[in-house]
Amino acid sequence: MSAALPYAETLDLSRLPAFELLQPRYEPILAARLESLRARMAAVGLDTSVLDLESDPLVILEQEDAYREFLNLTAINDQARGVSLAFAAGAVLDHLAATYYAHIGIRRLEGEDDARFRRRIALAPEAASPFTPGAYVFAALSAGLDVADAQALNHASGLVDPGQVLLVILPRAGVDGLELADRVRVALDARPIRALTDTVAVRPASRITVDVSAVVEVAPGPDRNLVAAEAAARLAAYAAGRRRIGLRLTRSGIAAALHLAAADNVRLAAPAETVDPGPDGVAELGAVNVTVEAPQ
């Protein structure tokens, strides 16, 4: 088994650009329709100078039809994106899973949101083999919604010996980690195909609490309480997005989250340095003390 992340985990589907099968542009569509109309009118001896007037009924009708054509072509792009893994949602995700991975038996868990289900679908090709990191992560995430994250580590991590696999799980808030590890272990043992050469251990991720203390400097004018509330909300969103096994909470990321549009400067007192939880740990937000100052 590779020491690297599962291949699917290195692809951030949320950052893929929206692709276009077609390139609908209103102005070229309108110009082409008017040019065609002009040629057809000239062919039967009609005066085409009226097409130079924006107020002419023929021009108005062509504008209407050109806009409808533009909307139709745009809808085709939307429909095409909607059947790709990166942009599919709702029932379309269920159909993608059933169409391409019926042999794995992947289906949405009760209450599972699109983002989590999309992640498991992306791992499904690796799940077809018992020897990949993705297979272990897929099995852990498929054990239930109480598993917020999972990571499979081998000897390259320095945490286990060759031939051993450490499956680290992150429990959902309020869930007992040790009890969940037992449930995941049972789910692994129940797989119809197993890597018999791997000795697998399952345990909860170690947690590191990160306290944040900062001063946000603003120009005179903005309400300090509103600025403080927005700063706290943005910091919480940043920390929630980084609540994954092995991800760091960086000083630059924390400062960027606190640097609102109204901020002139952010003085970050804590943490003193970037917090790296290690390959088997999770960095979580602890006590937050954000004050807002404005020059007198």
Mean pLDDT by 10 residues, the chain (296 residues): 53 75 94 95 93 93 96 93 90 92 88 95 85 88 95 89 91 93 90 70 95 92 88 95 94 95 91 95 95 81
Q: For residue 128, what are its two tokens?
A: 């077809």
Residue 187 identity: A
Q: Is the separation of the CB atoms in 120 and 135 below 8 Å?
A: no
Domain range annotation of the chain: 7-13+85-204, 20-82, 207-293
pLDDT at position 197: 65
| Chain length of the chain | 296
The Cα 113–Cα 104 span in angstroms is 20
Q: Give the CA-trace dihedral at 110, 185, 187, 180, to 10 degrees.
A: -10
Q: Which residue has the tokens 């609102």?
A: 260
Determine how many CB atoms are found less than 10 A away from the CB of residue 167.
23
Distance CA 16, CA 141 (A): 23
> From the CA atom positions of the chain, what is the Rg in Å?
28
CA distance 99 to 96: 5
**Type of residue found at 77:** N
Q: What is the DSSP string of the chain?
A: --SSPPGGGG--GGGSPPP-SS---HHHHHHHHHHHHHHHHHHTT---GGGG-TTSHHHHHHHHHHHHHHHHHHHHHHHHHHTSTTT--THHHHHHHHHH-TTTT--PPTT--HHHHHHHHHHHHHHTSTTSHHHHHHHHHHT-TTEEEEEEE-GGGTSS-TTEEEEEEEEPTT--HHHHHHHHHHHHHT-SS--TT-EEEEEEPEEEEEEEEEEEEE-SSS-HHHHHHHHHHHHHHHHHHT-STT--B-HHHHHHHH--TTEEEEEEEESSS-B---TTEEEEEEEEEEEEE---
The pLDDT, as a whole number, for residue 7 is 55
**Confidence (pTM):** 0.78
- Tell me the residue type at 57: P
Beta bridge partners of 166: 153, 201
The pLDDT of residue 248 is: 95
